[in-house]
Structure 1
Amino acid sequence: MDYRLTVNGVMRLSDAAYIPQDPGNRDWLEYQAWLSEGGQVLPRLADPDSDDAQRGVLGLFKRLI
């Protein structure tokens, strides 16, 4: 199973399900167990308005528009 960090939780990549940081959520508990077993979560994607996202070719196109 693979997960990616989001602003307030994680996204399970197998089905693109958003899992909030809720200790009562079964998926969040499964994610926590996966982490404790050595799972490595992918970093959060850059905010499209952040300075990092404004760099490169995509950032150039966004600035031109």
Structure 2
Amino acid sequence: MTPDPAGLWVRLLVRVIVVVAAGVMALGFLGPGAALLVCALTALTFVLLWLRGRPRRRPPSDP
């Protein structure tokens, strides 16, 4: 089952907005180096959650 392409783009857009918002907040409080780190860690979190949610492919078993 494939998700609706429009829904996929909306979810991607929301995740990008979250990453940018986290970076802007960190920039205001901590500085540019920390903001870059926060953006990278937020994006990495989304990637790891996406990988965790993917169904695993199992090799075909021999009968």
Structure with the larger RCO, 1 or 2 (CA within 8 Å, 6+ apart): 1
Name the structure with the higher strand share: 1
Question: Under TM normalisation by the shorter chain, which class is it?
Answer: under 0.3
Name the structure with the higher helix share: 2
Q: TM-score, normalised by structure 1?
A: 0.25
Q: TM-score, normalised by structure 2?
A: 0.25
